[in-house]
Amino acid sequence: MIQELLYEYRRRELEKHIRQENVYWVTDLCRCPLKRIYEFEYPELILQEIYNPSYILGDLVHLGLEELLKQLSKEGHLNYDIDVEVENEKEINVDGKKIKVRGRADILLKGDDVLGIEIKSARGDTGMPHEHHILQCKIYSWLFDTSKFILLYITPDRVTEYEVKERASEDDIVNLIKDTRAPRWSWECRYCRFAVLCPFKSLKS
Ligand code: SF4
């Protein structure tokens, strides 16, 4: 019974991210560009994500922390107003074509300035902070006009946070959209759901 509710929740979340030709999500800019193309072509492969236990665990960590911080803010333990799951988009011009860059920040803290929190849950703590997560925070800072982003990792081995103060520029965003390197990161193919059909799958680690 609860299992079904969890799957329904994830199904609804996936439906909020229906692909559109002129829309790039921030996450599209931090990963192999072929994945976005394959998501248009093979949407059935994405449905597996509904049932992935580690994604469900990640959702629960996000929801739990967001609720906790909302409660702490209400009780006066946090000197910021808090917004969770905040969506924003900016329109940019890429070679004469209007492109919308859209993203959803886990948490925005609003006081004298605005800062963001990006929550990452993982099975282990090696290699933190990850390059693609730092890139994601820089793009979010551009999208949400924040002074900085806190990259918060919650793993069984370590709970820790990193400050990302740099902000991506519009030129950086345009270059990322135009970058066709596939994969973008050497490890990506090992975890890619499209590796079962992709001719560019790389076996490097
Ligand atoms: S298998 Fe590798 S190159 Fe192909 S879509 Fe996945 S990450 Fe990109």
| Whether the CB of 19 sits within 6 Å of ligand 1 | no
| Whether the CB of 182 sits within 6 Å of ligand 1 | yes
Within 13 Å, how many C-alpha atoms sit on residue 142's CB side?
22
* pLDDT tens-digit readout, 147-163: 999 999 999 999 999 99
For residue 189, the ligand 1 atom closest to its alpha carbon is: 2
3-class secondary structure, 34: helix
Q: Provide the pLDDT for residue 93.
A: 97
Q: Provide the pLDDT for residue 32.
A: 98
Whether residue 202 lies inside any domain: the answer is: no
Structure tokens at 177: 């959209």
CA distance 139 to 176: 10
Judged against a pLDDT cut of 90, whether residue 17 lies above it is answered with: no
Judged against a pLDDT cut of 90, whether residue 27 lies above it is answered with: yes
| Whether the CB of 143 sits within 6 Å of ligand 1 | no
- What would the mean pLDDT of 164-184 be, rounded to a whole number? 97
To test ligand 1's pocket by mutation, which of 32, 39, 185, 190 has the most ligand atoms within 8 angstroms of CB?
Answer: 32
Judged against a pLDDT cut of 80, whether residue 117 lies above it is answered with: yes
Q: Provide the pLDDT for residue 58.
A: 95
- CATH number of the CATH domain containing 42: 3.90.320.10
The number of distinct structural domains making up the chain is 1
Cα of 189 vs centre of ligand 1, distance in Å, is 5
Whether residue 152 lies inside any domain: the answer is: yes
Whether residue 203 lies inside any domain: the answer is: no
Whether residue 30 lies inside any domain: the answer is: yes
For residue 192, the ligand 1 atom closest to its alpha carbon is: 6
Judged against a pLDDT cut of 90, whether residue 18 lies above it is answered with: no
Whether residue 6 lies inside any domain: the answer is: yes
What is the C-alpha end-to-end distance of the chain, expressed in Å? Answer: 40
| Whether the CB of 33 sits within 6 Å of ligand 1 | no
Quote the percentage of the chain above a pLDDT of 70. 100
Q: 34 Cβ partners below 8 Å, 6+ apart?
A: 182, 183, 194, 198, 200
* pLDDT tens-digit readout, 43-66: 999 999 999 999 999 999 999 999
CA distance 139 to 117: 13
| Whether the CB of 200 sits within 6 Å of ligand 1 | yes
CA distance 161 to 95: 37
DSSP letter, residue 98: E
Whether residue 118 lies inside any domain: the answer is: yes
At CA 68, angle to CA 83 and CA 15, rounded to 5? 55
CA 142 to chain centre: 14
Helix, strand, coil fractions of the chain, as percent rounded to 5: 45, 25, 30
Q: 73 Cβ partners below 8 Å, 6+ apart?
A: 80, 81, 82
Of 15-19, 138-142, 180-184, 186-190, minimum mean pLDDT range: 15-19
Mean pLDDT over the full length of the chain: 95
Which pTM value belongs to this model? 0.94
Which residue range(s) make up the domain with 119? Answer: 2-196
One-letter amino acid for residue 189 of the chain = C
Whether residue 135 lies inside any domain: the answer is: yes
Judged against a pLDDT cut of 80, whether residue 204 lies above it is answered with: no
Q: Provide the pLDDT for residue 205.
A: 60
| Whether the CB of 119 sits within 6 Å of ligand 1 | no
| Whether the CB of 183 sits within 6 Å of ligand 1 | yes
- What would the mean pLDDT of 13-40 be, rounded to a whole number? 94
Local confidence band at 177 (pLDDT 50, 70, 90 cut-offs): very high
Whether residue 53 lies inside any domain: the answer is: yes
- What would the mean pLDDT of 110-137 be, rounded to a whole number? 95
